[in-house]
Chains A and B, each alone.
Chain A
Amino acid sequence: MKSSTLSHLQMSLGRRALMRNLGIATAGALTGTAWEKAQAAGSKRPTRIIFFYTENGTLQSSWKPGPVAGKSAPTETDWELGELHAPILKDHKKDLIYIENVDLISTDLDLTPFGGSHQRMQVHMLNGAQRLKPEVAGAATINEFIGKQLNTPNAVTAFPTLEYSTSNYGDQLVSWSGPGLYVQPQYNPLVAYERIFKMISPPSGGAAETAKAARKRKLMFDTLRADFSSVQSGLSNQSKAKIEAHISSITDLESRLGLSKAAYCSPPPRQDAVAASSLKDQSARKYWDDNADIFMRMATMALSCDLTRVVTLQFGTPPESITGYAGDIHLGQVHNTAGDRSLAELRSMPGYETMTRYHRWYAQQFANLINMLKAIPEGEPGQTMFDHTVIYWFSPMGQGNHDPHQMPYVLAGSANGYFRTGRHLNFPRRPASAEEKAIDKLDGDKVQTPTTRGVPHNNLLVSLVNSMGIPITTYGNPKCCTGPLEGLR
């Protein structure tokens, strides 16, 4: 475990304390996760995926990897972190993949009315599909899709997915379980805690109690299924779809409740969740740091005990106490620093330092999460849970000018060896097609999307789904999906 990049919080804790904090049983030799100990020897370590959402894109030229000393340009294997992330992520460089020139081309092809521009892109981030309405997704997002696939036909994890928002910051339209079906993230750490805790509390009785509970569930769910089928007749298609989604959730619940409780799993201290949920002052740094910390610890615990294999973490726009900027950072500084600028020019912009603090706070959370995963031995000697995980860092736009092109994607972790990490992938740009430029005409040529396009992000979505062992070849709008993203493996 590398200690140099641990946050102030973990810095003060020893390895055992950190493990305990993460909810990992510390008794005996530290040779594996709680989940692993509960499995038969030789079981394959499950692959996990974490969706890591941050707002407002990035500072493009500061984010981009640069050349190694003495070279003019970075290559796939010879590259250095850009100055935005270097101080925070340098120890993890071999575990990262920076991906340049992937565009949200699906937004260019989606001529559904705009609605909010942030929301429009948010809805596309994880599904690359035509919207149903201005701010309503037209298809499931891949985080929900993966969770569902992994737990079909029967539940294998207590939660198909977990969605956490580390700040109660209004709705960021990240997760959708189907057309029009928005999934609200949990923003209250205590509620999130209690939810997980129920699934790891050891059963009160023995096998007889467990069998009795299962029998009761069967009686109840059989009755409910009959009720649900009697509702269906005479409903509109839309209402029917909603009732079907409810039936699916009920069936899923029945299956999940039948799983044996992960009693070997011990959660982070409850008082930490209580403390974080009692913080009300959203302008305070402590609110942001502590909420991010407890949510990431709970996520790590849930993943290490195999309570879920899919976690989505959302990070809102941090306040003045973190960025040092007193005004409306979105209006005053995010937009200021956008545009096609050289690094030198960017550095001279008035918002540069503010936005560097802003984006580095995200990077710090990203590093903290990697450290938490790396703190958990799992698999072969020397391996950790991080080796069996991929973190996908994404944002709704490339940079602060609402431009959904040149997305600042970073992957961390190989997903059980599926991705080759420690690389920088820079895809070529090509002239935009007429179809991709049609969006510019929507408002009398006022919108000017770039004249070039990179590769569609739908391909990256396919690769991520594939990395979880789900063999699909296309996702979202098929017009902008040509299969898995090349070169990732």
Chain B
Amino acid sequence: MSTTRSFVALSILWSACSGRVVGKDHPGQGGDNNGGQGQGGFDNPQGGQEGADEVGHCAKDAPAFVGPAPIARLTNVQYQNTVRSLFPSLALSTATLPKETRRPGGFFNQGDAQNPSPEVVERFHESAEDVAAAVAAKLPSSVGCPIPLDEMACGNTYVKSLLEQAFRRPASGEELTRYRGLFATARTEFGFAEAIALVVQTTLESPHFLYRVEKGENIGGAGAIAPLAAHELAARLSYFLTNNMPDLELTNAAKSGALLKEEELAKQAERLLGSAPARTVVADFQDQWLELDSLDNLSKSAKLYPEFNEALKASYKISLRKFLDYQTWESGGTWRGLLTDKTAFVDKGLAKVYEVNSAETGLQKVMLDSRRTGLLSQAGLLAALAHVDVDSPTKRGVFVLENLLCQHVPEPPPNTNTVVPTPDKPMTMRQRMEDIHSAAGDCKACHQLIDGIGFGFSNFDSLGRYRTQENGIPTDDSGRIVADLSIDGEFRGVVELSEKVAASREGTLCYASQVLAYGRSLAQSDLDECAVERILQTAGGMNPSIQNLMLAVTSSEGFRSLDKSKL
């Protein structure tokens, strides 16, 4: 096993579809541009079962992963939190920020996926204008100057403190001159209030505010790897763990340089992770990782599912989020727990879906019976991974492969006949899929991988209800994983599938890699398998809690440095 190798978390199953060895050396089918290197993926190196808690096989002396650092713009959440922190005394209405996009398998914070298009820039301009007007309307208290007001002194002091906070570092001499000059000129021409407004607006449109600018320390200048400057590190840490700018304590640790010491960094990371905003950060991560936004556009056939309505649609998401929050913060938050925790939260509408009794109002915690377990049997997820009329073994299989195991399944190639004929006799969805996919060679290659997993969900319909019959025919939830993974083999139903995934090396590494990608604002294809292994080692093995994974990301060497050869 080589010590450094390319790592493509979205390892491509295409070649497996063609009946070849998975994820290796299939020319032209990479998931990403990675310079034509082999597609690594999470191999099962010796072909055998790993020791349950043994993390990996990367050499102990493998060079640390630093990775690229494309300049990243604040996400909408980060922007809003930061503006509120900069102007705590103002009740700011939520401006209309540009709708965010992310690449498949990526996160909103991914630096190389954000386009400063004219409309995006216009939105930030308008937002800055609104904030500036609000600051100007509450002078001088909004800038913290004493009365009687010395306008010039106030402006000069305010420029310094505003820039230091907004840029997350002390302003350079040049910047101070520039912004003080702006203030002085504007004050002469338009008066104090409008000068302050102009300073605020300009600051909020500056790249030093909108982007996390990282250039590293120029120590020696010889090597490509440079440590981040203390203030850059503070911003990285703070935006990762709180989706906000550094607070006073963290800023002070950066100012004194203490943050550059591992112990202080760890102390600050633990402190921030224990603060309330961290809870919303984890939720933000989970929303994107599990693509919960798809629940906002959920629709079901009115003819087939008269019980589906807007209220149930909302309940699906609230319940799923509540489960994730509970699992993370009250039930240990481990990877295996996420997949095997028997808790669910139901309201009146969901009680019918889960076939349990419920309280009259609000969400109530219930324990699931032996038919369901963990994330994969949450009704909201099952309903999201279904068609408007029928359940979808394909969507469910692809979700497990891609989101939980980091195996990228390609869409049908162009001109593939993807017709699913309407059956002329009652059939189960499984039978329909088996009919088509076993017959046609084109489909079989990929669908045996997808369906083998997806069929394990056969006992759950398009609303996420348990069933043992479909169209009068008994359902069959036996499944089989044939993806050349360590968990290949047969299983029955979602409960066994969840246990398999939870115990798998690929699932665990996939989970850790997502946390690392999110924490570093990178695409998964930018990562390196050994980096993920190290995160897991630091986090305590193959059943990490998300809290430990996040801490491990912050203590990794790559988090503290910049590779100037990659950037």
Give residues in A with beta carbon < 8 Å to B.
107, 111, 113-118, 120-121, 132-136, 159-161, 163, 168-171, 177, 180-184, 186-187, 191, 194-195, 198, 212, 215-216, 219-220, 223-224, 226-228, 230-231, 234-236, 238-239, 242-243, 245-246, 249-250, 252-253, 256, 280-283, 319-321, 326-328, 331-332, 335-336, 338-339, 350, 401-404, 439, 442-444, 446-449
Contact = CB atoms under 8 A, between A and B. Distances in A.
B116 interface: yes
A326 B206 contact: no
Contacts of B122: 195, 249, 253
The 6 closest A-B pairs by CB, nearest first: A236-B567, A246-B116, A249-B121, A328-B387, A239-B71, A181-B115
B489 interface: no
A177 B100 CA distance: 16
Interface in B76-132: 96, 98-101, 103-104, 111-122, 125-126
A228 B302 CA distance: 53
A227 to B, nearest CB: 5
Contacts of B174: 230
A115 B134 CA distance: 46
B499 interface: no
A184 B206 contact: no
Contact of B413 (A117, A243, A282): A117
Given A133-B32, A231-B213, A326-B301, A443 B412 contact: no
B209 to A, nearest CB: 9
Given A195-B122, A331-B420, A236 B194 contact: no
Contacts of A219: 182, 185-186, 198
Contacts of B322: none
Nearest to A257: B125
Interface stretch (B23-31, B274-282, B325-333, B362-370): B23-31
Given A194-B96, A326-B301, A447-B413, A160 B387 contact: no
Interface string B302-315: 11100000100000
Contact of B302 (A170, A187, A283): A283
Contacts of B484: none
B411 interface: yes
A281 B179 CA distance: 49
B474 interface: no
B33 interface: yes
Contact of A231 (B182, B211, B301): B211
Interface residues of B, number: 84
Given A216-B186, A239-B111, A326-B388, A183 B415 contact: no
B18 A444 contact: yes
Contact of A442 (B297, B389, B390, B413): B413
Given A171-B101, A239-B70, A239-B567, A327 B390 contact: yes
Q: Which of A116, A170, A186, A320 has the most CB of B within 10 A?
A: A320
B178 A223 contact: yes
B360 to A, nearest CB: 25
B413 A401 contact: no
A332 B422 contact: yes
12 contacts: A115-B411, A116-B104, A171-B101, A220-B198, A235-B567, A242-B112, A245-B117, A327-B389, A328-B389, A332-B389, A442-B28, A446-B442
A133 B33 contact: yes
B207 interface: yes
B208 interface: yes
Q: Which of B190, B300, B420 has the most CB of A within 10 A?
A: B420
Nearest to A397: B414
A174 B270 CA distance: 43
Contacts of A446: 413, 416, 441-442, 445
Contacts of B414: 107, 114, 117, 120-121, 402-404, 439, 447, 449
Interface in B182-230: 182, 185-186, 189-190, 194, 198, 201-202, 205-208, 211, 213, 215
A73 B215 CA distance: 67
A159 B118 contact: yes
Contacts of B442: 446
Contacts of B420: 331-332, 335
B57 interface: no
Contact of A236 (B12, B70, B126, B302): B70
Q: Is the interface of B mostly helix, strand, loop or mixed?
A: loop
Nearest to B422: A350
Given A250-B121, A402-B416, A328 B30 contact: no
B417 interface: yes
A255 to B, nearest CB: 11
B38 interface: no
A168 B567 contact: no
B410 interface: yes
Contacts of B147: none
B99 A327 contact: no
A443 B14 contact: yes
B566 interface: yes
Nearest to A159: B118
Contacts of B70: 236, 238-239, 242
Interface string B290-305: 0000000101111110
Nearest to B417: A401
Contacts of B149: none
Q: Which of B113, B202, B310, B441 has the most CB of A within 10 A?
A: B202
A327 B388 CA distance: 6
Contact of A117 (B116, B411, B419, B566): B411
Given A224-B205, A245-B115, A331-B418, 11 more contacts: A135-B104, A182-B101, A194-B96, A215-B189, A227-B208, A231-B213, A235-B71, A281-B310, A282-B299, A327-B388, A447-B416
Nearest to B19: A444
A236 B566 contact: yes
Contacts of B189: 215
A223 B103 contact: no
A397 to B, nearest CB: 8
Nearest to A111: B28
Q: Which of A111, A195, A216 has the most CB of B within 10 A?
A: A216
Q: Which of B303, B416, B442 has the most CB of A within 10 A?
A: B416
B68 interface: yes
B29 A442 contact: yes
A216 B190 contact: yes
Q: Which of A226, A246, A281 has the most CB of B within 10 A?
A: A246
A327 B301 CA distance: 7
B31 A191 contact: no
B206 A224 contact: yes
